[in-house]
Structure 1
């Protein structure tokens, strides 16, 4: 039985490839495989294949890695893929991103050491691919709490099957319920990747005409009825299976013998007690 107690951060990404290969995914994991051991020992990578229609074999990686595949072919199933990835996360701190970004080692180290985000969810500044200067973060890259993600039902899969709006509504829904969106410090960055969009990507068409009215309907529902309205609760409406799981050897942690005895202190001073 695999043990994941040592995981402090889960990195979640998804892909759909209908061209020649999945090198865009494999090259990213090979890059991360070269990172320092203290990062790799504390990080769990979750890869979700959103029913790609090309055949491939998953090579072995020296990572804590769970590779999943969605079996039902649903166009633009980003929300469902992200819901599935978060479901399999082995830590409360999660980083959700697309394939066209990658984190440098210092950003991984920062997130691993960062306190639990609780009701905050963070964007990350990016390095411009040409100048290296700081630019704004991407709208669908989030560092947040897994518990908070599920408290508000994850992504609304009513948007799946058509392009767009699910990230925007996800952010709005969280803000309406008191989640606070912030940026991580300016020196903490992520990098923009150059992906081969002709051979290792997808050719789906972007058309907002269906999901824009869906988004407006949800905005009206929560504005009119408040509280828990504005989210369909559609969640994991598809079949999937586990393709591969890899584990790095765990390093024994340092003893914290007083931790259990101080439970009363945590009851008094935890955020939930206030």
Structure 2
């Protein structure tokens, strides 16, 4: 008889096969401190163990000028720092974060969003998004009602992310349009936009944008003609045009990796013997 505990104890300390969801976020802080990042992780650190055991956080520092030490959070996390100074490199930061993801289910979000316990647990236990691109409703602070989700928060499949080449880094260096073009690329190729049920919300964080954020200029002048050209390219030439394939066009360092002890997974001895059902289903769906 195979002993579950023995298997877990024998696993490599960096083994992450028990991770069910990867939470990717990025930041650029050029002001006073790192509280916008540290307070977010401290909040998630307070969540129940069943969530913390199943989630890996990938934090990407987009070449912030601040000097700091990465704290020892009680989370599974990978902390990366881009060392090539490119302004507005959100596209590259997200590509890098998803590259280091340890699960196919991923959530990509900015620092000003917080997922409550029930929402994060929903994503941990959700079916694989496959060809769907999910957003999450936000809560109106005054009315308590749900309203449209943050425009660049996505719950999706890592495989689907890479199938359509991730974010287009031709937009990097200047502000705007990379999220819009990312969504349009997916819609044009049959990815279905959806929302999580309204009972699962996202909370907007009160980030101090004068003390612990960035002061970059929001100017669309440079990237608007690039977006217009890409719109024309896919309209004229069709499938898979409009994406430059520029990817990870910078250098980075791995600053820190922390892993919580691996948990014993639920036993599913029936899964492997049923391989032929999966084979048959795949054959009939081609």
TM-score exceeds 0.5: yes
Work out which of the residue numbers 93, 96, 117 in structure 2 matches 1:84. Answer: 96
Question: Aligned pair 1:155/2:174, yes or no?
Answer: no
Residue 272 (structure 1) shift: 8.3
* Equivalences for residues 188-199 of structure 1 within 5 A: 188-199=200-211
Are 1:106 and 2:121 an aligned pair? no
Q: 200, 217, 240: which one pairs with 2:212?
A: 200
Tell me by how many angstroms 1:127 deviates. 1.2
Mapped pair 1:244 → 2:256: yes
Structure 1 portions without partners, runs of 5+: none
Q: How far does residue 5 in structure 1 lie from its aligned partner after superposition?
A: 0.6
What's the offset of the Cα at 1:270?
Answer: 4.5
Q: How many residues align?
A: 274
Q: Within the alignment, does 1:231 sit opposite 2:243 as a pair?
A: yes
Task: Give 3-state SS (helix, strand or coil) of 1:95's partner.
Answer: strand
Give 1:130 shift: 3.9
Distance of aligned partners of 1:52 and 1:130 in 2 relative to their CA distance in 1, 3 Å threshold: farther
What secondary structure sits across from 1:227 in the alignment? Answer: coil
User: How far has the Cα of 1:126 moved from its partner?
Assistant: 0.6
CA contact (8 A) 1:17 1:53 kept: yes
2:61 equivalent to 1:49: yes
| Separation in 2, partners of 1:242, 1:138 | 29
CA distance in 2, matches of 1:30, 1:273: 45
Q: Structure 1: which 4+ aligned runs deviate by more than 4 Å?
A: none
- Residue in 1 that maps onto 2:265: 253
What SS does the aligned partner of 1:51 have? coil
Q: Return the TM-score normalized by structure 2.
A: 0.94
Q: In the alignment, which residue of structure 1 is the partner of 2:152?
A: 140
The counterpart of 1:62, out of the listed 49, 61, 74, is 74
Q: Take 1:49 and 1:89, find their aligned partners in 2: how far apart are those partners?
A: 15
Distance of 2:208 and 2:109 partners within structure 1: 18
Q: Which digits, 9 at most, give the CA deviation of each residue in 1:86-139, with x for residues without a partner?
A: 000000000000000000000011111110000001010011234432111011
